[in-house]
Structure 1
C-alpha cells in the first residue's frame, strides 16, 4: 500500500505549535516512514511568516491538494476574515474527489467559509463558540467534542486537541496499534476521556444592577453548603416567588436554581483542585444533597467525573481519591 499523502497548508500568521502538530504526527513520530508522506503547501510558495515572527520556506503550491489523500488546515489567524477563493476552491475540489479535509482549532473556520461544513458536525476552540455559531448558522457546532468526523470532514477543538484529532486519523487508517505507538513517542495519551467541556470557562454572574439580587447572591455564596428553596429565597428578599424569579432572571439571565447549581459546581472545582477532601466531603461543602447527585451533576456539565477532574487539574491521585 503506497504512503498516504498529507498536505499541510501554511497560511500567513500561522501558529508554529498548531502547524507542527500534523507535521510531527504524520512525519517524524510515525514508527515507520512509509505510512504517510507530508507535503507543506501554501497559496503562494516561498516564505510564509508565522504569528510570532518565525518563517518557513514552502516549496509546494495549492496544486498539491489535487493529489493529496488528507488535506489539513492547521490554523487560521483571522477568524473574521474569509480566506481567498483560490484556497477555498482547492479545499472543495479535494473533498469532492474523495480526500479527507481537516481543520484543526481555528482551521475549522476555513472549512466553514468554504461551505463544506454546512449541514455537518464540527468542532473548534471553545472561546470562539459564539462567534462561530453567529457566522455559520448552517454548521452543527459540537461544543464539547475534542474532534469530530463527518463524511470526510474532520475538525478539532482548540490547541492540543489537534493532537487527539490527528491520532484518531492515524487510528482510522492504520489501527490502534500504530496510533498507540505514535502517542507513546509523543508522550501523550492515545485517547483522552471527556471532551472540551471540562476546559470551558463558564463565568457565573458575580453582580448585577439589581441591589436586592446582589444581596441575595452574596448570601447564597456564603451559604452554599445549606439547602435553599424558592420560598426561603423569596422570603430573604421580601418578594413573592414569581417576582423573585422574574427579577433574578432579568438580572442574571438564568433562574435561581440554575445559578445556584453553577455556583456549587464552580466551588466544587476549586475544592477538587486545592484540597485533599474526599469526594463525599467536597459534595457536602459545595452544597449538594448527596455524593450521587454531585457526581451526576458534575458529569453532566463537564463530561468527566469529579475524580477525573482532580487528576486532570491537580496531578496524581490523593489518598482521598484512592479511598474512593
Structure 2
C-alpha cells in the first residue's frame, strides 16, 4: 500500500493504458558516471522479494546510439532503446554527461511523451539537466548537486532550484542531489509505492539509512560557479568573502555593485541559485566552522570574527545549518582529532572503540568528519552498536509544502533562500 495515498490514485488514473506502474525504465547516456547509473539498476532491478521488497520490472534503455562509455572507459550495451520508454510507469535519468551540452532531441521527446502519458519522471544528480532541457521542470521546484545548482538556475531560470535539498518530490517529477542522494530518492519512491516497511527492508539490504535528515547545506563549499568569473558581480563576491569578519548586509553588496537591492537580488540568484542573504549567512557559518576547528577563540570571539552581530545570531544560524551548537561542534571535532596522536596508534581495537564513542555524537549532530565527509546521519545514540543503524524505524512526522499532501521525507517546509 502506498504511503502517499492521496496522490497515488490520481497518478494511477492518469497513466496511459499501455504503461505499467511496476515497470521502471532507466535512461542511460554515454559519458554518464557509473555510480549514479548503477543506483536505480540496483534498487529496481534486483529481485528482493525474499526480504519483503516488492518487485519492479526494470528496462535499461539507451538514450543514444551504442556503445555507451562510462567511468574508466567501460562500455555498456543497453538491451532496450527509447521505444521501451512507452511501457514504463516510471522513467529514471540517473545522470547526464555534461551540464553545458544539450541532450539528444529524440531522448527529450521520449521523456516529454512519457510525462504526458502519466509516467513519473525522475532525475538523479545531473539528470535534472535532462529533465530541464525537456521542459519538465518549468515552474517546478527541483534540486541537483549543490555544485551544479547555480548553473541549473542560470541556464533554466523558470526552474525553482533549491540547492539545499537532498531530493524534491513534486508529485510526478522528482529530482535529487548528487550521488548518494540518488539512493535517498529511490528509497523514497519505494516508500511512496509500497510503504515504509518495504523501504526499510530495502534499506537494510543496501546497508544504508532508510531516511537521512537535513539537506545539502552541511556539504556546501564556499566556491561559486566558474561562470561568475566573467560577471561584474565577481568583484563584489570576492570582496564579501575577504571581509566576512566585518558587519555588512546585502544592501552594502548591492551598493558596491551599483545596483538596487531588487536588481542585485535577481542578478545574484541567477548566477548562484541562491538568494544573496542566504549565501552570505552560509559563508559566515562556514567561516565559523573553520575557526572552531583551527583556533582557540571563544564562541563570542568567533561570532565577531565572522561578522555576526552577536553570539546569539551565530548560535541560531549555526544550529539551523549544521544541527548543533558551536560549542558542541568544536567538542565533537576535537574528540575526533586528539592532540596526542592517539588516532595513529597501532592498537586497532582501541581506535575502533574511540570511533564508536565519537561518531554517534557526530551523527546525532549531523557533523562533518574532519578531513571531509560526514558522520552517518542516522540518529545513533551514544553506545549503540552500528548494526542498530539499519533496524526498522517509525516514520518521521513533519509538515508538508502543499496543503492536503503528506509530508515528503528529505524536504523542509521553507522557501528557497
**TM-score under structure 2 normalisation?**
0.58
CA contact (8 A) 1:272 1:309 kept: no
Q: Structure 1 residues 262, 194: CA separation in 2 closer, same or farther (over 3 Å shift)?
A: closer
Q: Structure 1 residues 299, 203: CA separation in 2 closer, same or farther (over 3 Å shift)?
A: farther
**Aligned pairs, number:** 286
The C-alpha deviation readout for 1:211-249, integer Å capped at 9, x for no partner, is: xx98x998x88xx6xxx778xxxxxxxxxxxxxx58994
Aligned to 1:198: 218
Aligned to 2:37: 19
**2:160 is the alignment partner of 1:104:** no
Q: Structure 1 residues 139, 229: CA separation in 2 closer, same or farther (over 3 Å shift)?
A: closer
Provide the aligned C-alpha RMSD in A.
Answer: 3.9
Q: In the aligned structure 2, how far is the partner of 1:149 from the partner of 1:259?
A: 24
Which one has the largest radius of gyration?
A: 1
Pairwise CA distance, 1:129: 2.0
- How is 1:133-144 mapped onto 2 (pairs within 5 angstroms)? 133-144=153-164
Q: In the aligned structure 2, how far is the partner of 1:274 from the partner of 1:183?
A: 37
Q: What SS class does the counterpart of residue 67 from structure 2 fall into?
A: strand
Q: Structure 1 residues 71, 246: CA separation in 2 closer, same or farther (over 3 Å shift)?
A: closer
CA contact (8 A) 1:9 1:72 kept: yes
Q: In the aligned structure 2, how far is the partner of 1:248 from the partner of 1:176?
A: 51
Pairwise CA distance, 1:9: 0.9
Q: In the aligned structure 2, how far is the partner of 1:6 from the partner of 1:39?
A: 6
Q: Structure 1 residues 87, 144: CA separation in 2 closer, same or farther (over 3 Å shift)?
A: same
Stretches of structure 2 lacking an aligned partner (at least 5 in a row): 2-19, 225-233, 259-263, 269-276, 330-363, 383-417
Q: What SS class does the counterpart of residue 76 from structure 1 fall into?
A: coil
Q: What SS class does the counterpart of residue 72 from structure 2 fall into?
A: coil
**2:369 is the alignment partner of 1:313:** yes
Q: What SS class does the counterpart of residue 323 from structure 2 fall into?
A: coil
Pairwise CA distance, 1:311: 3.4
- How is 1:1-324 mapped onto 2 (pairs within 5 angstroms)? 4-28=22-46, 30=48, 31-32=51-52, 34-44=54-64, 46-203=66-223, 249=256, 264-270=284-290, 282=299, 285-287=302-304, 292-300=312-320, 302=321, 304-306=323-325, 307=329, 311-314=367-370
Q: In the aligned structure 2, how far is the partner of 1:198 from the partner of 1:33?
A: 32
The C-alpha deviation readout for 1:79-114, integer Å capped at 9, x for no partner, is: 122212210111111111111001111100001001
Pairwise CA distance, 1:200: 1.4
CA contact (8 A) 1:45 1:58 kept: no
Pairwise CA distance, 1:195: 0.7
Q: In the aligned structure 1, how far is the partner of 2:235 from the partner of 2:119?
A: 54
The answer to which structure, 1 or 2, has the higher relative contact order (CA under 8 A, 6+ apart) is: 2
Pairwise CA distance, 1:63: 1.3
The C-alpha deviation readout for 1:168-194, integer Å capped at 9, x for no partner, is: 111111111111121122222211111
Q: In the aligned structure 2, how far is the partner of 1:200 from the partner of 1:39?
A: 35
Q: In the aligned structure 2, how far is the partner of 1:96 from the partner of 1:209?
A: 45
Q: Structure 1 residues 259, 12: CA separation in 2 closer, same or farther (over 3 Å shift)?
A: closer
**TM-score under structure 1 normalisation?**
0.74
Pairwise CA distance, 1:121: 1.0
Pairwise CA distance, 1:273: 5.2
Stretches of structure 1 lacking an aligned partner (at least 5 in a row): 231-244
Q: In the aligned structure 2, how far is the partner of 1:303 from the partner of 1:51?
A: 33
Q: Which has the larger displacement, 37-46 or 86-95?
A: 37-46
